[in-house]
Amino acid sequence: MSILVEQARATVRQERERDARRLQDAQDAVSAAQGKLDSHNSQISAQYSMISRRKAEIASWKRWKSKAKWYQKAGRAARYAYEAGWRNADIAARYTKIGALKASALVAEGAMELAKLTLQGIEAAAVVTPVDLDPRVASLIVAKETAIAALEVIKAPFKGIPIIDGDYSGDIEATLDISGLHGSVTANFDGYSAF
C-alpha cells in the first residue's frame, strides 16, 4: 500500500510541476504582451509629441513671416513655404505611422487579453493544497490507515491468547465513501471463524 501512496504522490507532484511551468509560461506571455503594448503606446506618444513640436515650429515660422517688412515679404514667404512644407509632410507621415502603431497596439492588446485569460484559467485550476490532501493520495492514505486499524481490531481479541502454531487467514472488506467507513472483517484459525 505504501508503494501505491508514493506512486500517487509522484504523479501529483509531476502534474503540479507541469502546471507550475504552464503558469510561468502564461505569466511570461502576459508580461511580453504588456511590454509590446507599452512599447506601441510609448511610440504613439512620441509621434504625437513630435507632431505638436512640428506644429509649433510651423506657427513660429508663420509669425516670423508675418513680422516681415514690405521688402522681406517675398523672401520670407518662400522660406516659410519651404519650412512649413517639409514639416507638414513630416506631420502627415507621423499620422500614418500612428495609424499603423494603433493597429499594432490593438493586436498587442488582444494578445495581452488572451494571455491574461489563459493565465486566469491556469491560476484557477492550480492546486495549492498539500500533496497528501489530493484526493488520489488521501484516499490511499485513508485506505492504508483503515487497513492498519482493522488489523489492530482483529488482533485485539487474540492478544490474551498464547501464541499457538496454526493456520491463520483473514479477509478485510472496507468501503470508504461520503457517509463513512463500511465493511467487514473475518478471521479464520484452524477451522474457527471470527466476524
What pLDDT, in 10s, does the model give residues 81-90? 999 999 999 9
Please give the residue that has the higher pLDDT: either 190 or 89: 89
Contacts of 131 (CB under 8 A, 6+ apart): 9, 12, 13, 16, 137
Q: Can you give the residue ranges of every domain in the chain?
A: 2-128, 133-194
Beta strands in the chain (DSSP E): 168-177, 180-189, 192-194
Give me the phi and psi of 163, to 5 degrees please.
-70, 125
Q: What's the DSSP call for residue 156?
A: G
Please give the residue that has the higher pLDDT: either 116 or 51: 51
* Whether the model pTM is above 0.75: no
- pLDDT digit string (tens) for 38-50? 999 999 999 999 9
pLDDT value at residue 160: 65
